Structure 1
C-alpha cells in the first residue's frame, strides 16, 4: 500500500507541474494580448485628457486676449470717437499696454488700416468676416511683413476710418509663439507633443521636429505603416473626422517609431484642430516593465504553489486522520442530537396525548350526559381549554420548524405599546388570578408610545416569558414587567426600548441557564417535570429577538427567581401623537409601590398636572384631610386597589367621611380585572377604574372628559348585527362549513358555499352587481386554490370586483398572511378561528347596519 501511495504522490506531483506549466504559458500569451490592448486603451484615454486640458487652456488664452481688445473698445468708445491722430494714438496706447504686436481697423470688405505693427497678410480673409457675423469675435491666422506667423484676434467695433468708412472690427495680433508658449506645446525633449492645424491640414502651430507647412504632406511622406491602406488612408480618415468635427485616434509608424495620434477640434467657433502625438515608449516601457514583473511574480507564485502542494501531499495523511476524528465527533454529536429529538418526540407525544385524552374523554362524558346541560357545558369548556393548549403546542412546533429552516420573517406594522401592555394584562389576569399571584407592570421614561414592530411576534415573546413566570412561580409569588425607553445609538428615528420580566419563582441552575435557549431543552428537576411544556418556548423567543436585531439576557438563582431583560431598537412611528395637555389640577396618587407611584406622577406632570403622592393609605387620608381643612381639596385622587394595612376601597370610603359633603373624584388603579371589584364597591363610591400600566395616554384618556367645556362620548360596545349581508364562503371541508355557517349565521349573515376556488369564481361572476358584500376564501382547495381565485376575481370586468376578500385559512404564519395581501386579499383570519378577532375583522370590512 505504501508503494501505491508513493506512486500516487509522484504521478500527482508530475501532473500538477505539467498543469502549472501549461496554465503559465497560456496566461503569458493571454496577458500579453491584454497588455497590448490595455496600452492602446490607456493611451487613448490619456491623449483625450491631454487634448481636453489644452482645449481649456486655448479657450482661456483666447478669451483673455479678446477681453483685452474689449477693454480697448471700452476705453475708446467707437460711438464718440472722431477719426484723427488723437483717436489712433489713444487706441495704439491701449494696444501697446496690453502687449499686442499688431493693431488695425478692418472694414466690412476685409480692408485693413494699420494703427501700428507690420502689414498683415491674412490666410483666409473671408473667415474673418464670417466669424464676425456669427458671434462678433475674430480668431484667425496671418503672416506679417517680417514673415512671422501671427495670431489675429478681433472684436466688433465701428470706428471711423481714414477713407471715411466705418470699421467692422478692431483687430489685434500676437506672435504664434506666444500661443505656443501659453499652451506649452513645445517643451523641449519630450515623448509627447502637440500641433494645431486648420481644416486643410496646414500648420497653425507646429512643435517637435515638424518641418513641412502641411501636416497631411508630412504624414504622407513619413508614415511607414502600410496597414489598412497606409498613409493615404490615414489622411483620408483624418480629413473625414475633421469635416464631421469628430475625435480621431490612430497608432502610426513615423521614421520607424510607433506613435499614438489623437485629433480633436480645439474650440467650437474656431476651424482649427489639435493633434497630440505620443511616442509609444511613453506607455510601452513602464507597462512592459510591469509585464516583466508580472511574469516574474507568476513564476514565483507557481514555485510557491508547487512547494505548497508538495507540503500538502506530505501532510495528507495527518489531515486525513484529523478529519476522521472530526467525523467521529460529528457522528457522536448527531447521535446526541437524534437522542435529544427522540426524547423531544417522546415528550411531545405525552404532551399532545394529554390534551387529546381530555378532549376525547370530555366528549364521551358529554355524549353520555346529553340531557344534563350543566354537565355538557362543563365538558365543552374543558374541551375548549384542552384544544387551546393543543393549538399552542402545535404552534410552537411549527414556529421551531420555521426557525430551523430559516423561513421565519417579521411583519412590521405600527403598534401602540400602551395597547400591547393592555393586551398582556388582559391575557395574564386569569392565569395570575388562578394562582393568587401578584402582578404589576412598571413603565418609566416613555419617549414614544407608537413604534414600528411585528406586534404579534413581540406579544409572543412577552407572553412566552410571562407564561413561564406564572408556571414556575408558586402561589402568592410576584411577577413584574418593566418597560422603559432611552435614546437609541441608531439615530433619532429609533428609540431603545427595554422589556424586563422578573419573578420570584423557582429559578434555574447555572448549568441550565447556559443552554436554556437551545431547542428541545427543559431543566431536569422534579419541580419542572410536573409542569407541561415542550422546551421550545425559550428557543423561539431567542430566535424572534435575534430576528428583531435585539438582545436578551437572563439572570436567575434557584429558589429566588429569574429575570429576563430584552433590548430592542424600534423605529418610531411616523404618525404624530396628539398634543396631550390637562388643566393645572391638583392630583394625589396613592400606591404602596414607589416605582409605580413615581412613574404615574411623572406622566401626570408631563400632562401639566400638579401631583403629590403617598405610599401609605393612612398617610394619604391625613393629606386629604389637611387639604380639606384648608378648603383646598384635591381635584382627583388615584388609589391603588391592593395595598397593605388599608386597601384602595377602604381609603376611598374613609376619604368620603373626611371630606363629608364634598365629593372628590376618586379612581381605583390596578393591574387586575375590574370584574373582581364590582361585588366589593358600589358604583357611586368611585369615579371609575383605571387599568395599569398608567401610560400618559391612559391617564389623559380618563381625565380629559373633566376638562371644562369639552365633552367626550364614551365608547359603547355595540351589539354585533350583520342582518342581510350576503357572504360567499369558499370552503371544501364540510365540518368547517357547518361550523362557520352556524357561527356567522347567528349574527345575521347570509352565507352561500362554494366547494373550491373555481366554483367561487363562477358564482361571483354569475351574481348580480353588488349582491355579495364579501368573500371568505380558504387557501388550500382542490381544482383552484384561494390565491388563484382571488387574482381571477380581481381581474373580472365588474364594478364590484374590489369587494372585501378575506382569507380564512389554516396557513397561519406571517408570511402566509403577507402573501394573501400580495395577491389582492384584504385581510387574513387564521384557523382555528378566534371568534372575537373574526368579528372585529368583519366589522372593519362590512360595518353594521341595514342590508342593501
Structure 2
C-alpha cells in the first residue's frame, strides 16, 4: 500500500510538472510574440513622448533664461543710473551671477556692443532684428570671435550709451553646448541620434560626426528609396513640415538599415528638434526581452515544482512562521517599552537642563539688578556713578524681561496661540533699531560689525513689527554671542521680486559671523526647543536655547524660510527669506540738487553701495578707501566746478577712527567742506570732542535711500518732505486724567512716575472695586481713560470692567479701558475684549505703547 501510494504520488507529481512545463513554454512563446509587436509600437510612442518631453524642457529652460535676462533689465532698468559705468557694472554683475558668458547691447543697426565676453554675431540677423524691433523676446544662434557657436537670448531694452546712441535690446549669450546639455539630460541614451536644425535645414546643434552643413544634403546623400518614397520626396515632406511648424515622423532606410525619424518644433525659437533611432536597437531590445521571458518562465516552472516538493513541509512551516511572528511581536513590545523609558529619561533630563539653564539665566540679571541697586544706594551723591548703576539695572531688567517673554512665546507656540499683527512698518527703522540695540554688546567685545542694505525699492511694507524685530535681534544677537572678541559680524539686507505676485516683495537677510561655529550634527537640531550644543566652547554663554526655536516658528508663521550653514571654528551663516506685502504707493523722494560728494570708507562693499545709493537720489559720488587718497582727491577737485560739496566719513575705520580724520580734514581744508559721519547705530552726543568740531551731523548705517536723503537734505538745500498727517494730528495728552487700578503699590509708583513725565494726571485705585466706586463718584467726563490691572483682590479687572460698562452713566460705554497686565496670552487678551476693555498691553510697563494707545482712543 505504501509503494502504490508513493508510485501514485510520484507519477502525479511528474505529470503535474510536465503539464506546468508545457504551460510555461507556451505562455513564453505567446508572450514573446506579443512583446515583439508591442515593443515596436512602444518605440514609436517612446520617441514621440521623449521628443515632446525634451521640447517641453527646452521651452521651460528658454523661458527661464528669458526671464533671467528680463530680471537683469528690471534690476538695472534703463534710465536708473546717470553714470554709464555704474549701469554697466550692475548689468555685468547680475548677468555673471546668473551664469551668462556673454552680454551685449544690441543696437538698431544690427551691431553688438559687448559688455563682456568676446564679440558675437548672429547667424540669422534678420530674425533677431525683427523680433527685438517688434518688442518681442528672441532666442537665436550665433558665433563669437573664436567661431564658437553661441545661443543668443535677447530682451527689448533701451539703454543710453556713451556715444549718444541707444540699444534696442539686451542680449545675453551661452555656448551652444548648453543646448546639448539640455538634450542629453533628458535623452540619457547613447542609442538616439539628435540634432537641432533651422527651417532651411542648416544645423544649430548636432551630436554625430556629420560632414554636411545642411540636413537636406544629408537626406540626398544617405537616404535610400523605401516604402515607395525617394530621398527627394522625404526631403520635400520634411521641408513642408518645417515650414508649417508641424511634427514629422517617418520610417527611412540608410545603408540597408531601418530607422525611425521624428521632428518637432522647439518652443520660444525658430528651431526644430530631430531624432533618429535604429530598428536594430529595437530588435536587440526585443531579443533581450525574449530571452528574459524564457528564463523567467523556466525559473517560474522550477519554482512551482519546488513548491510542490515543499508542500509536505507546509504545516510545519506555517507553525514556525506563526511562532516567529509572535517572537517578533514580543521583541517589538520590549523595544517600545525600552524607548518609552529612554524618552522619559531624556524628557526628565531636558526639563532638568532647562530648569538649570533658566535658573542660571534668571539669577544672572537678578544679581545684576540687586547688586547695582545696592551700589546706587551707596552713591546717591555721585551722579555719574548713580547714572551708570541705573543704566546697568535697566539693561539687566530688559534682559530678564526678554527671558520671560521667550518662555511665554514658547508656551504660545506649543499651544498654537502665536498670532501675527500685520501693520505698516519701515524696514529702515527696524534695521536701525536693531543696530542701535546690539551696539553696546559689539563695543564691549570689540567686534567689527558691518550692516549693508542694497536694492531696497520698497522700504515700507506690511508685517508684524515686534516679531520681525525679534527675528533680527535673535539672529544677530546669536552671532554676537558666539563670536569672540575682535571677530566680525555682517548683516546684509536686500530685496527681489516675490514669487507671490506683484503686490509682494521678497526680502533676503544674511547674517554671517566668523565665530565658533557649530558641529554638523548639531545643525540638524539647532531649531529644537532648549537645544544647546554640549560643548565646553558654549558653556560660558548664557541662554536657555529658546531664541532660535522661537525665531524658526515666527518665520514659519510668516511663510518664510531660514537656513543655516556652519563649520566649527569658521563661523555661521543664517539666510532668512520673507515675502511681505508692499505699501503702495511708496513715498517718492524728489531729486536733490546735483552735487559732488566724497565717501571715505575702508570697507569696499559699504563704499560701493553708498555711491550707488547716492547716485540713485540724483547726486554725483566718488569713494576713497583711505585718508591720504581722500586728501589727494579733495585737493585735485578743489576750486574746480566738480569740487566736492560734502564729505561722508565712516566713523570706524581700520587703524584710525573718524574723529582723527575729521580733525585732519578740518585742519587742511577749514570749514569749506561739511563732514557727515556714517555710523552703526545712534551717535552718542557724549563722544563729541574738539576732534569732532568739524562734524556737522551723522547718518546711521545701513544706508537706505530715505535716510541718506533726510540726512543730506539740510546741507544741499533740498525741498522739505511733507510730514505724515498722523504725526501732525497726534493729540496732546497734557492734562488728561487717568484712573489706574493697580493693587501693587510699587507698580503704581513706577507707572505714576513714568506717565506723569508726559503731562498725564494720574489717580490710583487700589483694587477693582475702588476703581468702580471712583468712576461712579466722579463728575461727567471726570476721567479720560482707565488703566486696568487684571489680577486684584476684592474685585478683578475683568469684573471691574464689566461693572463699569453696565453703569448707567453716559460715559460708561465710551471711556477707554486699557488692560495693563502680566497675563499676556492670546486667550487673556480675548477675555479682556469680551469684558468690554478696548485694548491690552503687557507688563512691565511700556510707556510708548501706553501713550500710543491713549492717543489712539483720545482723538
TM category, shorter? 0.5 to 0.7
Give TM-score scaled by structure 1 length.
Answer: 0.56
| 1:765 Cα deviation after fit | 3.8
| 1:329 Cα deviation after fit | 2.2
For 1:769, which of 756, 760, 780 is the aligned residue? 780
Report the 3-state secondary structure (helix = DSSP H, G, I; strand = E; otherwise coil) of the residue aligned with 2:792. Answer: coil
Which deviations, in whole Å up to 9, do the C-alpha atoms of 1:266-322 show, x marking residues without a partner? xxxxxxxxxxxxxxxxxxxxxxxxxxxxxxxxxxxxxxxxxxxxx999978855753
Residue 686 of structure 1 is matched in structure 2 by 695
Residue 808 of structure 1 is matched in structure 2 by 820
Report the 3-state secondary structure (helix = DSSP H, G, I; strand = E; otherwise coil) of the residue aligned with 1:704. Answer: helix
2:506 is the alignment partner of 1:509: no
Which deviations, in whole Å up to 9, do the C-alpha atoms of 1:173-232 show, x marking residues without a partner? xxxxxxxxxxxxxxxxxxxxxxxxxxxxxxxxxxxxxxxxxxxxxxxxxxxxxxxxxxxx
In 2, Cα distance between equivalents of 1:704 and 1:477: 35
Which deviations, in whole Å up to 9, do the C-alpha atoms of 1:29-51 show, x marking residues without a partner? xxxxxxxxxxxxxxxxxxxxxxx
2:652 is the alignment partner of 1:642: yes
For 1:731, which of 742, 756, 765 is the aligned residue? 742
In 1, Cα distance between equivalents of 2:720 and 2:378: 57
Instruction: Say if 1:805 and 1:553 are closer, same or farther in 2 by CA, change over 3 A.
Output: same
Which deviations, in whole Å up to 9, do the C-alpha atoms of 1:317-342 show, x marking residues without a partner? 85575355334324422321222222
| 1:494 Cα deviation after fit | 1.2
Give TM-score scaled by structure 2 length.
Answer: 0.56
In 1, Cα distance between equivalents of 2:836 and 2:591: 42
Residue 418 of structure 1 is matched in structure 2 by 428
Aligned length: 534
CA contact (8 A) 1:450 1:572 kept: yes
| 1:520 Cα deviation after fit | 1.6
For 1:603, which of 598, 610, 613 is the aligned residue? 613
| 1:781 Cα deviation after fit | 3.4
CA contact (8 A) 2:786 2:816 kept: yes
Instruction: Say if 1:686 and 1:800 are closer, same or farther in 2 by CA, change over 3 A.
Output: farther
2:786 is the alignment partner of 1:779: no
Which deviations, in whole Å up to 9, do the C-alpha atoms of 1:701-757 show, x marking residues without a partner? 12233555735799999xx99654321111233332233234434554332223444
Query: Which residues of 2 match residues 327-726 of structure 1 at below 5 A?
Result: 327-360=337-370, 382-574=392-584, 576-644=586-654, 647-656=657-666, 659=669, 663-675=672-684, 678-681=687-690, 684-706=693-715, 708=717, 710=719, 724-726=735-737
In 1, Cα distance between equivalents of 2:528 and 2:461: 30
Query: Which residues of 2 match residues 129-148 of structure 1 at below 5 A?
Result: none
Which deviations, in whole Å up to 9, do the C-alpha atoms of 1:340-362 show, x marking residues without a partner? 22222223223333443444555
In 2, Cα distance between equivalents of 1:458 and 1:374: 36
| 1:528 Cα deviation after fit | 1.4
Between stretches 414-423 and 706-715, larger displacement belongs to: 706-715
Report the 3-state secondary structure (helix = DSSP H, G, I; strand = E; otherwise coil) of the residue aligned with 1:486. Answer: strand
Gaps of 5+ in 2: 1-320
2:328 is the alignment partner of 1:322: no
CA contact (8 A) 1:770 1:800 kept: no
For 1:833, which of 820, 824, 845 is the aligned residue? 845
Query: Which residues of 2 match residues 122-133 of structure 1 at below 5 A?
Result: none
In 1, Cα distance between equivalents of 2:383 and 2:673: 48
In 1, Cα distance between equivalents of 2:854 and 2:430: 22
Report the 3-state secondary structure (helix = DSSP H, G, I; strand = E; otherwise coil) of the residue aligned with 1:578. Answer: coil
| 1:423 Cα deviation after fit | 0.7
In 2, Cα distance between equivalents of 1:589 and 1:361: 46
In 2, Cα distance between equivalents of 1:813 and 1:620: 56
Residue 289 of structure 1 is matched in structure 2 by none
In 1, Cα distance between equivalents of 2:681 and 2:389: 28
In 1, Cα distance between equivalents of 2:760 and 2:816: 15
Instruction: Say if 1:404 and 1:712 are closer, same or farther in 2 by CA, change over 3 A.
Output: closer
Instruction: Say if 1:844 and 1:634 are closer, same or farther in 2 by CA, change over 3 A.
Output: farther
In 2, Cα distance between equivalents of 1:813 and 1:724: 33
In 2, Cα distance between equivalents of 1:712 and 1:462: 29
In 2, Cα distance between equivalents of 1:600 and 1:453: 27
Instruction: Say if 1:491 and 1:531 are closer, same or farther in 2 by CA, change over 3 A.
Output: same
Instruction: Say if 1:487 and 1:402 are closer, same or farther in 2 by CA, change over 3 A.
Output: same
Instruction: Say if 1:316 and 1:663 are closer, same or farther in 2 by CA, change over 3 A.
Output: same
In 2, Cα distance between equivalents of 1:582 and 1:313: 89
In 1, Cα distance between equivalents of 2:478 and 2:389: 27
Report the 3-state secondary structure (helix = DSSP H, G, I; strand = E; otherwise coil) of the residue aligned with 1:528. Answer: coil
| 1:582 Cα deviation after fit | 2.0
CA RMSD of aligned residues (A): 3.7
Report the 3-state secondary structure (helix = DSSP H, G, I; strand = E; otherwise coil) of the residue aligned with 2:517. Answer: coil
| 1:418 Cα deviation after fit | 0.5
Report the 3-state secondary structure (helix = DSSP H, G, I; strand = E; otherwise coil) of the residue aligned with 1:605. Answer: helix
Report the 3-state secondary structure (helix = DSSP H, G, I; strand = E; otherwise coil) of the residue aligned with 1:527. Answer: coil
| 1:461 Cα deviation after fit | 1.6
Report the 3-state secondary structure (helix = DSSP H, G, I; strand = E; otherwise coil) of the residue aligned with 2:577. Answer: strand
In 2, Cα distance between equivalents of 1:698 and 1:382: 31
| 1:448 Cα deviation after fit | 0.7
Report the 3-state secondary structure (helix = DSSP H, G, I; strand = E; otherwise coil) of the residue aligned with 2:440. Answer: helix
| 1:486 Cα deviation after fit | 0.7
Instruction: Say if 1:361 and 1:625 are closer, same or farther in 2 by CA, change over 3 A.
Output: closer
| 1:417 Cα deviation after fit | 0.4
Instruction: Say if 1:581 and 1:375 are closer, same or farther in 2 by CA, change over 3 A.
Output: closer
Instruction: Say if 1:770 and 1:467 are closer, same or farther in 2 by CA, change over 3 A.
Output: same
Report the 3-state secondary structure (helix = DSSP H, G, I; strand = E; otherwise coil) of the residue aligned with 1:451. Answer: strand
Which deviations, in whole Å up to 9, do the C-alpha atoms of 1:503-543 show, x marking residues without a partner? 22121122222221111221222231122211111212112
Instruction: Say if 1:460 and 1:549 are closer, same or farther in 2 by CA, change over 3 A.
Output: same
Between stretches 648-657 and 543-552, larger displacement belongs to: 648-657
Query: Which residues of 2 match residues 26-425 of structure 1 at below 5 A?
Result: 322-360=332-370, 382-425=392-435
